[in-house]
Structure formats: structure tokens, C-alpha cells
Amino acid sequence: MPEPIDVVEALLFASDVPVEADRIREVLDLSSADEARALVGGLRERYAARDSALEIVEAGGGYRMLTRPEVAPWLVRLARSRTRARLSRPALETLAIVAYRQPASRPDIDAIRGVNSEGVLDNLMEKRMVRIAGRKEAPGRPFLYETTREFLVAFGLRDLGDLPQVEGELAVPDAVVVAPTDGDASQQDPGAGGADEPARG
């Protein structure tokens, strides 16, 4: 019969998303979330004692098993040996606007960027970086977008409070001119569809 700490290790290893203390409590039938946190703490100490290449970090409201920064150079070599996609510049730009202004509507995002962001937003939704949070009480009732837990995980943030502070505000211009959504390809975002750029090796 495995020890509870070994089960926690297996849960973190098998999960591709952060595992919350409450979920660990539920799976192991523990008396409290604090008991689950104590098990995670014990696992962290175990890894530290044997100088493991792995570590347990807090991200997106839960715990994840990750590799230590010291082994990053070898992981980069591994990544370079295969084709790998990353977020395009238009996608990162749009994601930043959503992150700092959320919930943000597409007309507002378009106004800040100066181009049609429909394709990029669709791509970010496919990657589960953003989601629809509702509709704005404005003409046409456009969708409102917000970031997801996957966004927090991807950028190593515990919550939105960990976002880097920026000076000023991402303001929507007074005269909003939104690029056409269909016919005029010249006004479409250069990263239409949020097409990923291949990683440079």
C-alpha cells in the first residue's frame, strides 16, 4: 500500500494541470486541505534533500511538478530537436490586452491594436489562453474575454496579481475605428488566425 505522500507525487506527475489542495484532500480522503498542503510540503522536502531535477511549485491555484531551472539548457536542446510552435507576436499582444483590461471586448481590443483581432482571439481560445466571460452592455452586445487558468500556468503566475506592473493604462481611443471583419483582407491582422510562428533554433 503506497504512502499518502507517494500518492500525491503520482497525482502531480500524472496531471497536466495544477492540482488543488482540495482535490488532493478529496482523492486521498483527508480530513482537511491543510493536511494535503502538508503532504505537498513533505514532497518538496524530499526532492530538495536528494537534489532532484524536479520540484513542486504553486501555480494557477494548485500544485505542479516541474523541472528545476538548472536543467533548462538540456531541455532547450530537446525542444530544438523537434518542431515546436509558439504564440505569434499578434497573439501575445492580444493576450496582454486581455490580461490587463479583462474582461475586454473585441471592439476594445481592435481599437487598441488598430487591427481586426477576431482570428487571433479564436486561436487563443483554441489554445485555452482566453475564454468568453459574458457580453458587454453596449450596441451589438459583443463578447467579453478574460484569461484562463491555463494562461496563469503558461506564464508561471499564481494569480493575476502577479502580472508585471505597467505604467499608464491600455486606453481605448476616443474615435474607435474597427477594421472590417470580412471582406477587406488588407485590414486583417497580419497574424490572422493567430498563426503560430515556428520556434527559431
| Number of domains making up the chain | 2
Name the residue with higher pLDDT: 91 or 199.
Answer: 91
* 125 plus 189 within the same structural domain: yes
On whether residue 141 sits in a domain, the answer given is yes
Radius of gyration of the chain (CA): 21
Give the three cell numbers for residue 126.
483554441
* 92 plus 168 within the same structural domain: yes
Q: Does residue 70 register a pLDDT over 60?
A: yes
On whether residue 186 sits in a domain, the answer given is yes
Poorest-pLDDT segment among 11-20, 128-137, 189-198:
189-198
* 61 plus 119 within the same structural domain: no
Residues 6+ apart with CB under 8 A from 30: 4, 24, 36, 39
On whether residue 108 sits in a domain, the answer given is yes
Q: Does residue 186 register a pLDDT over 80?
A: no
Residue 145's SS3 state is: strand
Q: Is the peptide bond between 190 and the residue preceding it cis, with omega within 30 degrees of 0?
A: no
Type and span of the H or E element at 57: strand 54-59
Tens digits of per-residue pLDDT, 95-116? 999 999 999 999 999 999 999 9
Tens digits of per-residue pLDDT, 133-174? 999 888 889 999 999 988 887 777 878 888 887 666 555 444
* 101 plus 159 within the same structural domain: yes
On whether residue 201 sits in a domain, the answer given is no
* 17 plus 71 within the same structural domain: yes
Tens digits of per-residue pLDDT, 16-65? 899 999 999 999 999 999 999 999 999 999 999 999 999 999 988 899 99
* 162 plus 126 within the same structural domain: yes
* 51 plus 114 within the same structural domain: no
Rounded CA separation 91/113 (Å): 11
Q: Does residue 189 register a pLDDT over 80?
A: no
Instruction: Please check whether residue 100 is in contact with residue 112, taking contact to mean a CB–CB distance below 8 angstroms.
Output: no
* Chosen domain end from 38, 57, 77: 77
What's the confidence (pLDDT) of residue 168?
60
Range(s) of the domain holding residue 48: 4-77
Task: Provide the residue count of the chain.
Answer: 201
* 107 plus 182 within the same structural domain: yes
Q: How many helices (H) and strands (E) does the chain have?
A: 8, 7
